[in-house]
């Protein structure tokens, strides 16, 4: 069963409590999303580390319940 945008956001908020998060359903199919995450937790991290932190926050759901997730991450401005 695919994940909803709100379920993705809930998981991300558990880790990135200060974040500005926007989840976009790219195809309207509940299977392909884009997440825009701005958090102070990303300060000093390169993009690869930021994305690894997001995948860790999703607790193994990538590739299963969550098929595709494009990421745009960075520290708050």
Residue 57 main-chain phi, psi, to 5 deg: -65, -25
Quick one: pLDDT at residue 67?
83
> In CATH, what is the architecture of 5-74?
2-Layer Sandwich (3.30)
Which one-letter DSSP state was computed for residue 16?
-
Q: Is the pLDDT of residue 1 over 80?
A: no
Q: What confidence tier does 8 reach under pLDDT thresholds 50, 70, 90?
A: very high
Mean pLDDT rounded to a whole number for the chain? 93
Which helix (H) or strand (E) segment is 37 a member of?
Answer: strand 32-38
Q: Is the pLDDT of residue 48 over 80?
A: yes
Q: b/e string for 32-41 if b means 16 or more Cβ within 10 A?
A: bbebebbbeb
Residue 12 main-chain phi, psi, to 5 deg: -65, -35
């Amino acid at each position: 069963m695919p994940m909803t945008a709100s379920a993705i956001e809930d998981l991300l908020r558990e880790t990135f409590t200060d974040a500005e998060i926007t989840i976009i359903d790219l195809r309207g199919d509940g299977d392909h999303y884009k997440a825009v995450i701005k958090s102070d937790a990303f300060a000093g991290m390169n993009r690869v580390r930021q994305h690894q932190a997001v995948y860790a926050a999703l607790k193994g759901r990538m590739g299963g319940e969550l098929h595709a997730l494009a990421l745009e991450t960075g520290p708050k401005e």
